[in-house]
Structure 1
Protein backbone atom coordinates (compact mmCIF):
# COMPACT_ATOMS: atom_id res chain seq x y z
CA UNK A 1 0.00 0.00 0.00
CA UNK A 2 1.47 3.31 -1.06
CA UNK A 3 1.63 6.34 1.22
CA UNK A 4 -1.43 8.55 0.90
CA UNK A 5 -1.13 11.75 -1.08
CA UNK A 6 -2.05 14.63 1.23
CA UNK A 7 -3.54 17.93 0.06
CA UNK A 8 -2.42 21.18 1.62
CA UNK A 9 -3.58 24.76 1.34
CA UNK A 10 -0.68 26.79 -0.06
CA UNK A 11 0.64 29.80 1.81
CA UNK A 12 2.27 32.04 -0.81
CA UNK A 13 4.34 33.84 1.82
CA UNK A 14 6.29 30.63 2.48
CA UNK A 15 7.34 30.08 -1.11
CA UNK A 16 9.85 31.45 -3.54
CA UNK A 17 8.75 34.03 -6.09
CA UNK A 18 7.94 32.34 -9.36
CA UNK A 19 10.71 33.00 -11.88
CA UNK A 20 9.69 34.23 -15.32
CA UNK A 21 11.37 31.74 -17.64
CA UNK A 22 8.97 32.21 -20.53
CA UNK A 23 6.04 29.93 -21.36
CA UNK A 24 5.25 27.23 -18.82
CA UNK A 25 3.55 23.94 -19.55
CA UNK A 26 -0.02 24.16 -18.30
CA UNK A 27 -1.46 21.40 -16.14
CA UNK A 28 -4.17 21.38 -13.49
CA UNK A 29 -3.26 20.59 -9.92
CA UNK A 30 -5.57 17.55 -10.04
CA UNK A 31 -3.73 16.17 -13.07
CA UNK A 32 -0.35 16.79 -11.44
CA UNK A 33 -1.53 15.07 -8.25
CA UNK A 34 -2.68 12.10 -10.35
CA UNK A 35 0.82 11.85 -11.85
CA UNK A 36 2.34 11.85 -8.36
CA UNK A 37 -0.14 9.18 -7.24
CA UNK A 38 0.72 7.08 -10.31
CA UNK A 39 4.43 7.43 -9.56
CA UNK A 40 3.77 6.26 -6.00
CA UNK A 41 1.77 3.31 -7.35
CA UNK A 42 4.82 2.24 -9.39
CA UNK A 43 6.96 1.88 -6.27
CA UNK A 44 7.38 -1.88 -5.71
CA UNK A 45 5.16 -3.27 -2.92
CA UNK A 46 8.17 -4.73 -1.12
CA UNK A 47 9.39 -1.15 -0.63
CA UNK A 48 6.07 0.50 0.20
CA UNK A 49 5.44 -2.16 2.85
CA UNK A 50 8.52 -1.04 4.77
CA UNK A 51 7.97 2.69 4.32
CA UNK A 52 7.10 3.89 7.78
CA UNK A 53 5.51 7.07 9.05
CA UNK A 54 5.82 9.13 5.86
CA UNK A 55 3.31 11.44 4.16
CA UNK A 56 3.51 12.71 0.58
CA UNK A 57 2.33 16.21 -0.34
CA UNK A 58 1.98 18.13 -3.59
CA UNK A 59 2.81 21.79 -3.14
CA UNK A 60 2.72 24.64 -5.62
CA UNK A 61 6.15 26.11 -4.91
CA UNK A 62 9.24 25.17 -2.87
CA UNK A 63 10.66 27.16 0.05
CA UNK A 64 11.91 30.63 -0.89
CA UNK A 65 15.57 29.68 -0.43
CA UNK A 66 15.50 27.08 -3.26
CA UNK A 67 13.07 28.12 -6.03
CA UNK A 68 14.14 25.36 -8.45
CA UNK A 69 13.64 22.48 -6.02
CA UNK A 70 11.48 19.70 -7.49
CA UNK A 71 11.04 17.65 -4.32
CA UNK A 72 12.07 17.55 -0.69
CA UNK A 73 12.31 14.86 1.99
CA UNK A 74 12.04 16.08 5.58
CA UNK A 75 12.35 13.60 8.39
CA UNK A 76 14.45 10.86 9.91
CA UNK A 77 15.59 8.21 7.39
CA UNK A 78 14.85 4.60 8.28
CA UNK A 79 18.60 3.98 8.60
CA UNK A 80 18.88 6.56 11.40
CA UNK A 81 15.90 5.51 13.49
CA UNK A 82 16.61 3.80 16.75
CA UNK A 83 14.57 2.56 19.65
CA UNK A 84 13.93 6.20 20.59
CA UNK A 85 11.91 6.71 17.40
CA UNK A 86 8.29 6.84 18.51
CA UNK A 87 5.53 9.37 18.87
CA UNK A 88 6.87 11.68 16.17
CA UNK A 89 5.10 13.41 13.32
CA UNK A 90 5.34 11.62 9.97
CA UNK A 91 8.27 12.28 7.68
CA UNK A 92 7.25 14.53 4.83
CA UNK A 93 7.90 14.22 1.12
CA UNK A 94 6.92 17.31 -0.87
CA UNK A 95 6.68 17.31 -4.66
CA UNK A 96 6.65 20.84 -6.12
CA UNK A 97 4.39 21.45 -9.09
CA UNK A 98 5.62 24.90 -10.18
CA UNK A 99 9.31 24.14 -10.71
CA UNK A 100 8.48 20.77 -12.27
CA UNK A 101 6.23 22.37 -14.88
CA UNK A 102 8.79 25.13 -15.54
CA UNK A 103 11.50 22.48 -15.97
CA UNK A 104 9.52 20.35 -18.45
CA UNK A 105 8.50 21.05 -22.04
CA UNK A 106 5.92 18.27 -22.52
CA UNK A 107 3.48 16.17 -20.51
CA UNK A 108 5.75 13.16 -21.05
CA UNK A 109 8.62 15.15 -19.54
CA UNK A 110 6.44 15.87 -16.50
CA UNK A 111 5.50 12.18 -16.13
CA UNK A 112 9.19 11.24 -16.24
CA UNK A 113 10.36 14.02 -13.91
CA UNK A 114 7.63 13.30 -11.35
CA UNK A 115 8.56 9.60 -11.35
CA UNK A 116 12.26 10.40 -10.88
CA UNK A 117 11.53 12.95 -8.14
CA UNK A 118 9.22 10.57 -6.24
CA UNK A 119 11.83 7.78 -6.36
CA UNK A 120 14.57 10.24 -5.35
CA UNK A 121 12.68 11.49 -2.28
CA UNK A 122 11.58 7.99 -1.22
CA UNK A 123 15.22 6.92 -1.49
CA UNK A 124 16.08 9.61 1.07
CA UNK A 125 13.47 8.02 3.37
CA UNK A 126 15.48 4.80 3.04
CA UNK A 127 18.71 6.64 3.89
CA UNK A 128 20.21 6.97 0.40
CA UNK A 129 22.04 10.29 -0.05
CA UNK A 130 22.17 12.56 -3.11
CA UNK A 131 25.66 11.45 -4.12
CA UNK A 132 24.61 7.79 -4.30
CA UNK A 133 21.36 8.67 -6.08
CA UNK A 134 23.32 10.54 -8.76
CA UNK A 135 25.62 7.52 -9.16
CA UNK A 136 22.54 5.34 -9.66
CA UNK A 137 21.02 7.74 -12.22
CA UNK A 138 18.25 9.06 -9.95
CA UNK A 139 19.80 12.49 -9.37
Structure 2
Protein backbone atom coordinates (compact mmCIF):
# COMPACT_ATOMS: atom_id res chain seq x y z
CA UNK A 1 0.00 0.00 0.00
CA UNK A 2 1.24 3.45 -0.84
CA UNK A 3 2.32 5.26 2.33
CA UNK A 4 0.50 8.37 1.09
CA UNK A 5 -2.79 6.59 1.76
CA UNK A 6 -1.98 6.53 5.46
CA UNK A 7 -1.25 10.20 6.01
CA UNK A 8 -3.90 12.23 7.83
CA UNK A 9 -6.89 9.92 7.71
CA UNK A 10 -7.92 6.30 7.41
CA UNK A 11 -7.64 4.83 3.91
CA UNK A 12 -10.71 5.42 1.77
CA UNK A 13 -13.11 2.80 0.42
CA UNK A 14 -11.41 3.30 -2.96
CA UNK A 15 -8.07 2.36 -1.41
CA UNK A 16 -9.64 -0.77 0.10
CA UNK A 17 -11.07 -1.71 -3.28
CA UNK A 18 -7.76 -1.08 -5.02
CA UNK A 19 -5.93 -3.37 -2.55
CA UNK A 20 -8.62 -6.06 -2.84
CA UNK A 21 -8.53 -5.96 -6.66
CA UNK A 22 -4.71 -6.14 -6.63
CA UNK A 23 -5.03 -9.20 -4.39
CA UNK A 24 -7.44 -10.82 -6.83
CA UNK A 25 -5.02 -10.13 -9.70
CA UNK A 26 -2.31 -12.04 -7.79
CA UNK A 27 -4.46 -15.16 -7.50
CA UNK A 28 -3.37 -18.14 -9.57
CA UNK A 29 -4.95 -18.03 -13.04
CA UNK A 30 -7.06 -21.12 -12.37
CA UNK A 31 -8.82 -19.26 -9.55
CA UNK A 32 -9.20 -15.94 -11.38
CA UNK A 33 -10.76 -17.77 -14.33
CA UNK A 34 -13.61 -18.98 -12.12
CA UNK A 35 -14.48 -15.75 -10.37
CA UNK A 36 -16.90 -14.90 -13.15
CA UNK A 37 -19.13 -11.94 -12.49
CA UNK A 38 -18.38 -11.71 -8.78
CA UNK A 39 -18.96 -8.18 -7.46
CA UNK A 40 -16.66 -6.54 -4.92
CA UNK A 41 -18.36 -4.09 -2.55
CA UNK A 42 -16.66 -1.98 0.13
CA UNK A 43 -19.06 -0.73 2.81
CA UNK A 44 -18.48 1.00 6.11
CA UNK A 45 -20.38 -1.64 8.16
CA UNK A 46 -22.60 -4.65 7.60
CA UNK A 47 -26.26 -3.68 7.74
CA UNK A 48 -28.48 -4.65 10.67
CA UNK A 49 -30.30 -7.35 8.68
CA UNK A 50 -27.01 -9.05 7.78
CA UNK A 51 -25.76 -8.89 11.36
CA UNK A 52 -29.04 -10.31 12.71
CA UNK A 53 -29.00 -13.09 10.12
CA UNK A 54 -25.52 -14.12 11.25
CA UNK A 55 -26.28 -13.63 14.97
CA UNK A 56 -23.52 -11.03 15.22
CA UNK A 57 -24.18 -8.36 17.82
CA UNK A 58 -21.59 -5.74 16.94
CA UNK A 59 -20.81 -4.49 13.42
CA UNK A 60 -17.07 -4.43 14.15
CA UNK A 61 -17.17 -8.21 14.52
CA UNK A 62 -17.73 -8.78 10.78
CA UNK A 63 -14.89 -7.82 8.42
CA UNK A 64 -16.20 -9.45 5.26
CA UNK A 65 -18.95 -11.59 3.81
CA UNK A 66 -19.54 -13.70 0.73
CA UNK A 67 -23.08 -13.65 -0.67
CA UNK A 68 -23.73 -16.34 -3.23
CA UNK A 69 -23.56 -20.04 -3.86
CA UNK A 70 -20.20 -21.77 -3.92
CA UNK A 71 -19.14 -22.90 -7.37
CA UNK A 72 -19.64 -26.58 -6.56
CA UNK A 73 -23.30 -25.95 -5.69
CA UNK A 74 -24.22 -24.02 -8.83
CA UNK A 75 -26.16 -25.45 -11.71
CA UNK A 76 -26.13 -24.55 -15.39
CA UNK A 77 -29.93 -24.57 -15.16
CA UNK A 78 -30.01 -21.56 -12.81
CA UNK A 79 -30.97 -18.31 -14.43
CA UNK A 80 -31.80 -14.86 -13.24
CA UNK A 81 -29.72 -15.18 -10.08
CA UNK A 82 -28.00 -12.09 -8.79
CA UNK A 83 -24.22 -12.13 -9.16
CA UNK A 84 -22.17 -13.41 -6.26
CA UNK A 85 -20.84 -10.61 -4.05
CA UNK A 86 -17.94 -10.09 -1.73
CA UNK A 87 -18.48 -7.42 0.90
CA UNK A 88 -15.55 -5.86 2.73
CA UNK A 89 -16.55 -3.91 5.82
CA UNK A 90 -14.10 -1.04 6.09
CA UNK A 91 -14.66 0.04 9.72
CA UNK A 92 -14.39 -3.53 11.04
CA UNK A 93 -11.17 -4.08 9.07
CA UNK A 94 -9.76 -0.78 10.35
CA UNK A 95 -10.64 -1.79 13.93
CA UNK A 96 -8.90 -5.14 13.50
CA UNK A 97 -5.91 -3.36 11.97
CA UNK A 98 -5.65 -1.12 15.05
CA UNK A 99 -6.04 -4.07 17.43
CA UNK A 100 -3.60 -6.43 15.74
CA UNK A 101 -0.96 -4.21 14.15
CA UNK A 102 -1.08 -6.36 10.99
CA UNK A 103 -0.25 -4.36 7.87
CA UNK A 104 -3.50 -2.98 6.50
CA UNK A 105 -2.89 -4.20 2.95
CA UNK A 106 -2.16 -7.69 4.31
CA UNK A 107 -5.36 -7.61 6.36
CA UNK A 108 -7.47 -6.47 3.39
CA UNK A 109 -5.88 -9.23 1.29
CA UNK A 110 -6.60 -11.78 4.03
CA UNK A 111 -10.29 -10.86 4.24
CA UNK A 112 -10.62 -10.76 0.44
CA UNK A 113 -9.05 -14.20 0.03
CA UNK A 114 -11.14 -15.62 2.85
CA UNK A 115 -14.34 -14.49 1.13
CA UNK A 116 -13.11 -15.74 -2.26
CA UNK A 117 -12.44 -19.04 -0.51
CA UNK A 118 -16.13 -19.26 0.35
CA UNK A 119 -16.93 -18.73 -3.34
CA UNK A 120 -14.87 -21.82 -4.10
CA UNK A 121 -16.07 -23.79 -1.06
CA UNK A 122 -12.52 -24.02 0.31
CA UNK A 123 -11.55 -25.14 3.79
CA UNK A 124 -9.69 -22.78 6.11
CA UNK A 125 -6.44 -24.65 5.37
CA UNK A 126 -6.98 -24.22 1.63
CA UNK A 127 -7.71 -20.51 2.17
CA UNK A 128 -4.42 -20.13 4.05
CA UNK A 129 -2.56 -21.88 1.23
CA UNK A 130 -4.19 -19.56 -1.30
CA UNK A 131 -3.24 -16.58 0.83
CA UNK A 132 0.37 -17.79 0.92
CA UNK A 133 0.30 -18.08 -2.89
CA UNK A 134 -0.47 -14.37 -3.31
CA UNK A 135 1.82 -13.06 -0.55
CA UNK A 136 4.62 -10.82 -1.72
**Residues matched between the structures, number:** 111
What TM-score results when the alignment is normalised by the length of structure 1?
Answer: 0.69
Secondary structure, aligned partner of 1:104: helix
For the pair 1:56 / 2:40, whether they are aligned, the reply is yes
C-alpha distance 48-137 of structure 1, shift in aligned 2 (>3 A): closer
Instruction: Return the alpha-carbon distance in structure 1 between the equivalents of residues 109 and 67 of structure 2.
Output: 18
Question: Following TM superposition, where does structure 1 have runs of at least 4 consecutive aligned residues deviating by more than 4 angstroms?
Answer: none
Superposed displacement of residue 46, structure 1: 1.9
Q: Deviations over 1:51-102 (max 9, x none)?
A: 2331111111113323111110011111001232222110111011110001
For the pair 1:124 / 2:118, whether they are aligned, the reply is yes
C-alpha distance 137-86 of structure 1, shift in aligned 2 (>3 A): closer
Extract unaligned runs of 5+ from structure 1: 1-24
Correspondence 1:1-139 to 2 at 5 A = 26-64=10-48, 65=51, 66=56, 67=59, 68-105=61-98, 109-128=103-122, 132-133=123-124, 135-136=125-126, 138=128
Instruction: Return the alpha-carbon distance in structure 1 between the equivalents of residues 30 and 44 of structure 2.
Output: 30
Q: Deviations over 1:13-64 (max 9, x none)?
A: xxxxxxxxxxxx7222222222222222222222111223311111111133
**What value does the CA root-mean-square deviation take over the aligned residues?**
2.4
Extract unaligned runs of 5+ from structure 2: 1-8, 129-136
